[in-house]
Amino acid sequence: MGDIARQAPDKDTGEDLYQYLLERITNLENRNLELREQFRQMESEKRYIETQKIRYERELRKLKSEIEQLRSPPLVIGTVTDVVDNNRVIVRSSAGPRFLVRTSQLIDPDLLKPGVRCTLNQQSLAIVDVLPTSYDSQVYGMELVESPDERYESIGGLEPQIVEIQEAVELPLTKPHLFEQIGIAPPKGVLLYGPPGTGKTLLARAVAHQTNAHFLRVVGSELVQKYIGEGARLVRELFELAKQKAPSIIFIDEIDAIGAHRNDSTTSGDREVQRTLMQLLAEMDGFENRGDVKIIGATNRIDILDRALLRPGRFDRIIEIPLPDFHGRLSIMHIHTKGMNLGENVDLAEVARLTEGKNGADLRAVCMEAGMFAIRSEHETVTQDDFMKAIDKLSLDFDKHHINTSYGAMFA
Ligand SMILES: Nc1ncnc2c1ncn2[C@@H]1O[C@H](COP(=O)(O)OP(=O)(O)OP(=O)(O)O)[C@@H](O)[C@H]1O
């Protein structure tokens, strides 16, 4: 800046003036370049911040809607038994008793016929909505996929577990005659247990892909919490649907929410869970080992599961899905960086070494975050430095989360 502001020479000799102007132009050009570079950096920073803003806004929207859902009280399910007039109907609640209830003006009176199922407000018992009569995977939060896209190649590590599940689920579906020939009954169900984010759902989806089976996924906690008194019915309908769509694989995530061992407490919530578990056991006992419906359960808490679930003829194969070791982590890194443009200096083995104790979902996040760092610094490829920054950032988030949850526990 000092150079730019320099005074013009006193003497007005042509040579001096020429030198002075030349120097000044060079200085101004340099300064111009500097400012352009600063501008470019600020632009890229701005772009990065905008992307982050969009991400956080999306996350905020998701959390807000989750809070809304958690705040809204659960609805009671009932069946219309009689229509009194346009405003009043008699409904039998799923818990047993019959009530004369009012209907909302928003509900088309033509829909309210005897036999129709509806949801009722837990306190006023007014009819809130009419449920469709057919199986509706949306209503029950049931996920139904014709044949998922995941393959065994998308799973890092877990080689022995893949072999076990191939024997227990894939072979009985694809080559049932092998079991007949030898004269043994194939397992009906397989239980996958291990820490979160280690690939249990991924494995179940890959088997469904390999066997061209329908994949029906339900979450244990949702079965008993979403619609009071409906858990047992949902389990029955889930199995009926699976038989209709066979070959199919039923995947029950968080099975501990319905299958924890029973104690003597008899709150209505406990009774609901018990009824649901009883129905699950009855359904499992009621179908053929050699049939083309298989059940895969998943849990993070095998220690609290009711032994009844683990008896022969139910979940008779138990497979541990542990946190990945070094080779597992390396192979997961290879899978998740497959589509990424990696720089020559990238050393995935180093990344795998530095992420001890992390699960597959964490490693996927490291790859995403490294990609974000590369975009931010306008690299054409993702460098080792980007991976290091991503590990630092995620370890930090992980620790923060840890601190938050322990504070949460302290204040709870
Ligand atoms: N072994 C793995 N190989 C490749 N990717 C993995 C692996 N484990 C986890 N992931 C990644 O993490 C994501 C989440 O994993 P997944 O849902 O299968 O975990 P989970 O064990 O079912 O977790 P939870 O117990 O929380 O339901 C997967 O979609 C995948 O992208």
Identify the CATH class of 143-320: alpha beta
Q: Do domains 75-130 and 326-411 have the same CATH topology?
A: no
- State the DSSP string of 187-224: PSEEEEE-STTSSHHHHHHHHHHHTT-EEEEEEHHHHH
Cβ atoms 79, 91 nearer than 8 A: yes
- Cα 39 from Cα 10, distance rounded (Å): 36
Report the relative pairing of strands 315-320 and 189-193 from DSSP bridges: parallel
The structure tokens listed for 203 are 């494995």
Q: Is the CB of 155 under 6 A from ligand 1?
A: yes
8 Å CB contact between 230 and 142: no
189 lines ligand 1 (CB under 6 A): no
What is the 109 CA–ligand 1 centroid distance (Å)?
Answer: 46
CA of 201 to the centre of ligand 1 (A): 6
CA–centroid distance, 78 to ligand 1, in Å, is 38
Tokens of 80: 């219309």
CB 203 within 8 A of CB 192: yes
Question: What is the three-class DSSP state of 370?
Answer: helix
| Whether the CB of 206 sits within 6 Å of ligand 1 | no
User: Is the previous residue joined to 160 through a cis bond, with omega within 30 degrees of 0?
Assistant: no
Give every CB contact of residue 279 below 8 A, 6+ residues apart in sequence.
Answer: 231, 232, 233, 235, 236
CATH number of 326-411: 1.10.8.60
How far does Cα 341 stand from its chain's mean position? 26
Closest CA to 131 of 55, 43, 234: 234
pLDDT of amino acid 406: 35
Single-letter amino acid, residue 14: G
Residue 200, marked binder: yes
Token pair in block for residue 381: 């490829």
ipTM: 0.97
Find, among 251, 360, 361, 259, the residue nearest to 302 by Cα. Answer: 259
308 touches 202 (CB < 8 A): no
* Global pTM value: 0.67
| C-alpha to C-alpha distance for 259 and 253, rounded to whole angstroms | 11
* Tokens 């995620």 -> residue: 394
pLDDT value of residue 271:
72
256 CB near ligand 1 (under 6 Å) = no
In angstroms, the Cα distances linking 210 to 149, 167, 215, 398 are 9, 13, 11, 35
Which residue type, as a one-letter code, is found at position 372?
M
Question: Residue 399 has what pLDDT?
Answer: 56
Q: What is the rounded distance in angstroms from the CA atom of residue 331 to the CA atom of residue 345?
A: 18
Q: Is the CB of residue 116 less than 8 Å from the CB of residue 80?
A: yes
Q: Which of 193, 202, 319 to mutate to test the pocket of ligand 1 (most atoms within 8 A of CB)?
A: 202
**Cα–Cα nearest to 394, from 346, 347, 361, 353:** 361
CATH of domain 75-130: 2.40.50.140
Residue spans of the chain under pLDDT 70: 1-12, 69-71, 94-96, 133-141, 226-229, 262-269, 289-290, 396-412
Amino acid (one-letter) located at 95: A
Segments making up each domain of the chain, as ranges: 1-72, 75-130, 143-320, 326-411
CA-CA distance, 220 to 256, in Å (whole number)?
7
In 223-264, the DSSP E strands lie at 227-228, 248-253
Give pLDDT, residue 358: 92
